[in-house]
Amino acid sequence: MGKKYKKIILRFIMMVLIALLTLVLSRVLPQRKPTPTLNYRQLILSLGFLFVRTPVLRRRAFYQACLFGAFSLFWTVIPLHLADHFGLSQQGIAWFALAGVGGAIAAPICGRLADKGWTRALTGTFLVVAVFSFLLAVLVKGHSVVGLLLMVVAAITLDMAVSGNLVLGQRAIYSIGKESRGRLNGLFMSLFFLGGAAGSSLGGWAYAQGGWQTAAGLGTVLPALVLLYFLTERKPVFSKLKQS
């Protein structure tokens, strides 16, 4: 049997499985028919009011926008840096990226810790970790194996900071109220993805202007600004809180 026929059979099997899954879910999942209270125009206009009247949303969105901007800057520029200065191939860069994914393990852990009242402490910790990650990346000189390992550590710790802070941010805005939870999450996600887009753009520009050191230095500024803003919160950084 040729490869062409194998692909056709495989696609057919996948189509059957998806159809069966759709049928099962349609019978098993409970029906939900919410009663609309706003029309589409009112719903869109309410987003602006929610943003203005929800300081927790503004603060957490700013935190995550800057962190995700730094994250996007790092992963936009690091493949160029690894290829130019460490001589890594596309496969080597892929292995580097796979190692960096290890930082995502922080998300479920910090979720459980946040439920115990450590939201503020974890937020401060993750911001410090993000600054440390970029400082470590800036300090790496040359193209030795040790330097490459330090870059891997920076990638993992930065991923930990960003994914952990995302969980904390969503937990904070979800605690505001069920009625507007979807709209609040939509605003939160939109705002921090705008930060990510800006970070990618700035990273490419900075690398073209001054290389890795300039780009990484700019990446350090973003979490550092967030850390300064975080310190303006009234309660101590490492005090326990039940809610953000």
* Paired strand residues for 118: 241
Chain mean pLDDT for the chain:
85
pLDDT the model gives residue 2? 66
Q: DSSP class of residue 30?
A: P
What burial class does residue 204 get, using C-beta atoms within 10 Å of its C-beta: 0-12 exposed, 13-18 middle, 19+ buried? middle
Query: At 118, is the secondary structure helix, strand, or coil?
Result: strand
Give the Cα separation of 243 and 118 in Å (integer). 9
Per-residue pLDDT for the chain (244 aa), expressed as one digit of tens each? 567 777 888 888 999 999 999 999 888 888 777 666 677 788 788 888 888 888 899 999 999 999 999 999 999 999 999 998 888 888 888 899 888 787 777 777 877 887 788 888 899 999 999 999 999 988 887 678 888 899 999 999 999 999 999 999 888 888 887 777 888 888 999 999 999 999 999 999 999 999 888 999 999 999 999 999 999 876 543 333 334 3
Q: What b/e sequence results for 110-137 when a residue is b if at least 16 CB atoms lie within 10 Å of its CB, and e otherwise?
A: beebbeeebbbbbbbbbbbbbbbbbbbb
Instruction: Return d(Cα 129, Cα 62) in angstroms, integer.
Output: 17
Q: What is the pLDDT of residue 1?
A: 56
Determine the pLDDT at residue 218: 92
Dihedral sign (CA 232, 234, 237, 242): negative
CA of residue 90 relative to chain centroid, distance:
24
Helix H or strand E encompassing 20: helix 3-28
Residue 9's pLDDT is 85
- Each residue of 102-123: pLDDT tens digit? 777 777 787 788 778 888 889 9
pLDDT for 156: 92
C-alpha span between 82 and 88 (Å, rounded): 6
Q: Which residue has the tokens 């690398």?
A: 207
Distance CA 47, CA 206 (A): 34
| pTM, two decimal places | 0.77
Residue 154 neighbours by CB under 8 Å, 6+ apart:
133, 134, 136, 137, 140
80 residue type, one letter:
L
Are the C-beta atoms of residues 171 and 108 closer than 8 Å to each other?
no
The predicted structure's pLDDT at residue 243 = 40
pLDDT at residue 133 in the model = 92
Q: CATH: 1.20.1250.20, 3.40.50.300, 1.10.760.10, 1.10.274.50. Which one for 43-230?
A: 1.20.1250.20
Extended strands (E) in 47-170? none
Bin 205: left if φ > 0, else alpha if -120 < ψ < 50, else beta.
alpha
- For the chain, the structural domain boundaries read 1-33, 43-230
